[in-house]
Chains A and B, each alone.
Chain A
């Protein structure tokens, strides 16, 4: 299996709220450590929703160097389509009339996927121009992300001639190449996200026909004590030091039991993911933090150095960092 970091284009997809941006940024940092020049693309989302404290944001349409060798850029479907139309309708006056007209929206609606195709086309251009060793795409939540990924193939089949066909075809040949591209999925190991993730993984492999990357299981609890240990050390027999101390002991055990419970739940769902997707699974630990910031993303990125080891040898996350 080609290492994730040796590809040129990585898509990060997954349900909302599972930590896609965190994983995408951590992957970018891990690649930078490997002396790669990396572009992290935010596909169709506003900055505010996915900011990481302490890391420079992308602004406007141009790439911004957040750290040496690490660039960020936003790509948006609507803007990408307008840019493309600028190229093929060079008369400014005409274009203005087009964009100002309400009928333009109707055209976009009647040519489904055109703006998605153009956004992916823009990403293709970034990969193709050779400015970056690796382009990582942080995608919007699942449903919308799959629309993007579906587009190049659909469009190359729907439109059999013309500009759009050519555009779709060259994008598809990049996306479907397992040496160049991989789609990675992020999830947390809880029931509902896991069910959705199994569907996504099967879609990527099946219907979409795209090369699979790694399935990242984020916020994983792996306690370094067991229920049996807690049982043996039961606190009830040891009351009577002082009231505050007794209460504290009780709270310590409650927290420990909660952690064991999370650990059991997460591990059960991790096994389910392994069994039902067949993807390579890499686990990222839950970080106990008052506030989540850039330093934490860096800590996670170090764990990702293992992410491209051969199947079955990926190290399991340890307990608390």
Chain B
């Protein structure tokens, strides 16, 4: 039997919203957390978006890395009566990494050196996966604090929903301890002259690359790992902790998608792959859907039993019979209506195909394409009936 989206949110403590960019993931995550707060839960929404979209959507002064409690008065002013509470937090990726350095660097001098280290800067800011890793670290931290019983995570925009699940592992693979150990050996730290007689692949490769490009890296990499040894000694354990959080039965993965073709194509692949990773897909939110007109229609006017783009004249006839004038307005309104019908039919067909590729127990909720900015809490609540049904 298909569970309802509502019961999925009710039964889980962590909801991870994954999906590609531009589908309204941030908005959906905020709306889910807000619903939780309305229904008595201590809810937090964690956004990872460097573009400050959550701050924009909530109209809150969100500074990176700090949890902000949305004041009850603010909720009430927007017509929301919350028996629980709502907090929001925006991940500060650089800040989170820097505080790891603070904690693990053995001295203030080494700390300063590492913060300026090019290898560190790349790893913390642009290495594919470091942002996702930090997001899950923050999630684990919020869980450990015990302050929340519902945490909704808005994942970084990616081309693919799976990226979020795979990224922390990628960072772990990259930080291979065998290689790290090599970099912190005393003769490496002493630089190339001391390594004249050390004939290892690693040394050979680096040297070749340095000579070919004129870019020297050895000193910096070695300095970084040397200074941060205590961090990397426990890195695998941290990674395990982080994955335990993701694989917990209390965590639910929700894919947020728009009805566009390229986003929807991969439903089957996605749900199979997520199951294989041990993090099954629990629900799908289809956002920005255009709904088709489904009321009974007059077969005399529309023999096909549906209204399509080439039915403009029949729609005009009906409007005219109703006494609408002038004729030019009748024509423009009919044209607009059949145009919307075309878009809605396209959405409908793609969604049907998509649903066929999903396991039966995964609920799909459809949220319409609102023609207003959902930038305030009150406006976010407009998504609730579509997500959770009417209460």
Q: CB within 8 Å of A: which of B323-373?
A: 323-325, 329, 332-337, 339-340, 342-343, 345-346, 349, 371-373
Q: Among A101, A114, A247, which residue has its beta carbon within 8 angstroms of that of B205?
A: A101
Report yes or no: A110 in contact with B214, Cβ–Cβ below 8 A: no
Say yes or no for A85: interface residue by CB 8 A criterion: yes
Number of residues in A with C-beta < 8 Å to the partner?
A: 79
Binds A, one of B103-111, B117-125, B190-198: B117-125
Q: Which residues of B contact A261 (CB under 8 A)?
A: 371-372
Binds B, one of A23-31, A201-209, A285-293, A302-310: A285-293
Which chain A residue has the least Cβ–Cβ distance from B156? A143
Given the known A-B contacts A89-B208, A288-B342, are A255 and B297 also in contact in the complex, defined by CB atoms under 8 Å?
Answer: no
Q: How far is the CA of A244 from the CA of B321 in the complex (A)?
A: 12
Which among A107, A193, A225, A241 has the highest number of chain B CB atoms within 10 Å? Answer: A107
Q: How far is the CA of A191 from the CA of B349 in the complex (A)?
A: 29
Which chain B residue has the least Cβ–Cβ distance from A190? B373
Tell me the smallest distance from the CB of A204 to a CB of chain B, in Å: 16
Q: Flag B366-391 by CB within 8 Å of A: 1 or 0 each.
A: 00000111010000000000000000
Given the known A-B contacts A17-B258, A255-B336, are A241 and B202 also in contact in the complex, defined by CB atoms under 8 Å?
Answer: no
Report yes or no: A247 in contact with B295, Cβ–Cβ below 8 A: yes
Q: Flag A1-36 by CB within 8 Å of B: 1 or 0 each.
A: 000000000000001111000000000000000000
Say yes or no for A79: interface residue by CB 8 A criterion: no
Q: Which residues of B contact A224 (CB under 8 A)?
A: 332
Say yes or no for A262: interface residue by CB 8 A criterion: yes
Which chain A residue has the least Cβ–Cβ distance from B258? A17
Report yes or no: B372 in contact with A141, Cβ–Cβ below 8 A: no
Report yes or no: A163 in contact with B213, Cβ–Cβ below 8 A: yes
Q: How far is the CA of A107 from the CA of B324 in the complex (A)?
A: 72
Report yes or no: B373 in contact with A265, Cβ–Cβ below 8 A: yes
Say yes or no for A195: interface residue by CB 8 A criterion: yes
Which chain B residue has the least Cβ–Cβ distance from A144? B126
Report yes or no: A191 in contact with B56, Cβ–Cβ below 8 A: yes
Report yes or no: B205 in contact with A16, Cβ–Cβ below 8 A: no
Q: Which residues of B contact A114 (CB under 8 A)?
A: 213, 215
Report yes or no: B215 in contact with A98, Cβ–Cβ below 8 A: no
Report yes or no: A289 in contact with B343, Cβ–Cβ below 8 A: yes
Which chain B residue has the least Cβ–Cβ distance from A112? B122
Report yes or no: A48 in contact with B298, Cβ–Cβ below 8 A: no
Say yes or no for B212: interface residue by CB 8 A criterion: yes
Report yes or no: A98 in contact with B205, Cβ–Cβ below 8 A: yes
Q: How far is the CA of A110 from the CA of B261 in the complex (A)?
A: 38
Given the known A-B contacts A17-B22, A104-B205, A192-B57, are A265 and B332 also in contact in the complex, defined by CB atoms under 8 Å?
Answer: no
Given the known A-B contacts A16-B22, A191-B373, A238-B323, are A107 and B217 also in contact in the complex, defined by CB atoms under 8 Å?
Answer: yes
Main secondary structure of the interface of B (DSSP, over half): helix
Q: CB within 8 Å of B: which of A245-295?
A: 245-249, 251-253, 255-256, 258-259, 261-262, 265, 288-292
Report yes or no: B22 in contact with A147, Cβ–Cβ below 8 A: no
Report yes or no: B118 in contact with A110, Cβ–Cβ below 8 A: yes
Q: Which residues of A contact B323 (CB under 8 A)?
A: 238
Q: How far is the CA of A163 from the CA of B214 in the complex (A)?
A: 7
Say yes or no for B235: interface residue by CB 8 A criterion: no
Report yes or no: B205 in contact with A103, Cβ–Cβ below 8 A: yes
Q: Which residues of B contact A89 (CB under 8 A)?
A: 208, 212
Which chain A residue has the least Cβ–Cβ distance from B347? A290
Report yes or no: B324 in contact with A233, Cβ–Cβ below 8 A: yes
Q: Which residues of B contact A242 (CB under 8 A)?
A: 298
Which chain B residue has the least Cβ–Cβ distance from A245? B318
Q: How far is the CA of A164 from the CA of B52 in the complex (A)?
A: 35
Number of residues in B with C-beta < 8 Å to the partner?
A: 77
Q: How far is the CA of A235 from the CA of B3 in the complex (A)?
A: 40
Report yes or no: A320 in contact with B336, Cβ–Cβ below 8 A: yes
Report yes or no: A159 in contact with B214, Cβ–Cβ below 8 A: yes
Given the known A-B contacts A51-B262, A97-B201, A225-B336, are A262 and B298 also in contact in the complex, defined by CB atoms under 8 Å?
Answer: no
Q: Which residues of B contact A161 (CB under 8 A)?
A: 214
Which chain A residue has the least Cβ–Cβ distance from B51? A196
Q: Which residues of A contact B201 (CB under 8 A)?
A: 97, 101, 103
Q: Among B50, B297, B321, which residue has its beta carbon within 8 angstroms of that of A241?
A: B321
Given the known A-B contacts A241-B318, A320-B335, are A102 and B176 also in contact in the complex, defined by CB atoms under 8 Å?
Answer: yes
Q: Which residues of B contact A112 (CB under 8 A)?
A: 118, 121-122, 126
Q: Which residues of A contact B56 (CB under 8 A)?
A: 191-192, 195
Say yes or no for B277: interface residue by CB 8 A criterion: no
Given the known A-B contacts A45-B159, A109-B119, A320-B336, are A162 and B50 also in contact in the complex, defined by CB atoms under 8 Å?
Answer: no
A residues whose Cβ falls under 8 Å from a Cβ of B: 15-18, 45-46, 48-51, 85, 88-89, 94, 97-98, 101-107, 109-112, 114, 141-143, 147, 159, 161-165, 190-193, 195-196, 199, 223-225, 229, 233, 235, 238-239, 241-249, 251-253, 255-256, 258-259, 261-262, 265, 288-292, 319-320
Nearest first, the 3 closest Cβ-Cβ pairs linking A and B are A17-B22, A16-B21, A162-B214
B residues whose Cβ falls under 8 Å from a Cβ of A: 20-23, 26, 50-53, 56-57, 118-119, 121-123, 126-127, 157, 159, 174, 176, 179, 183, 201-202, 204-206, 208-210, 212-215, 217, 220-221, 258, 260-262, 293, 295-298, 301, 307, 309, 315, 318-319, 321-325, 329, 332-337, 339-340, 342-343, 345-346, 349, 371-373, 375
Query: Other than the known A16-B159, A97-B201, A247-B297, what 14 A-B pairs have Cβ atoms closer than 8 Å?
Result: A15-B22, A51-B262, A109-B122, A112-B126, A143-B50, A163-B212, A192-B51, A192-B57, A199-B51, A235-B324, A238-B322, A238-B324, A246-B322, A319-B332
